[in-house]
Amino acid sequence: DVKVTQSSRYLVKRTGEKVFLECVQDMDHENMFWYRQDPGLGLRLIYFSYDVKMKEKGDIPEGYSVSREKKERFSLILESASTNQTSMYLCASRSTLGGGFFGSGTQLSVL
């Protein structure tokens, strides 16, 4: 069974904290993605990576960074969390030309 695992289901952080969201896939996929999902706005792409140590900005990269040191792991970093980053964060992976597989999401609340 294919699996994309996100490290936390719920997370509560304070404004200004550094936040790490971890994602691991077991399908040996080349491509990994981070999206945020907000009501009425759908899924918006933050960053994606098509290879180890490679990253590309998505539509809303401001305030975020990413790290991909190993093929199976893709981390999203909020350098200084702000209240407008309260959201559901979804990680996905896909092989080239294939469908995307998503994790269950991390609901992040920044107070």
Partner 1 sequence: QQQVKQSPQSLIVQKGGISIINCAYENTAFDYFPWYQQFPGKGPALLIAIRPDVSEKKEGRFTISFNKSAKQFSLHIMDSQPGDSATYFCAASMNRDDKIIFGKGTRLHILP
Residues 51-110 binding partner 1 (CB under 8 A) are 56, 58-59, 90, 92, 94, 96-97, 99-105
CB atoms under 10 Å from CB of 61, counted, come to 15
Binding track, positions 4-43, relative to partner 1; x by CB under 8 A: x--------------------------x-x-x----xxxx
Give the start-end residues of each E strand in the chain. Answer: 4-6, 10-13, 19-25, 31-38, 42-49, 56-57, 64-70, 73-78, 87-94, 101-102, 106-110
Binding interface with partner 1 (CB under 8 A): 4, 31, 33, 35, 40-45, 48, 50, 56, 58-59, 90, 92, 94, 96-97, 99-105
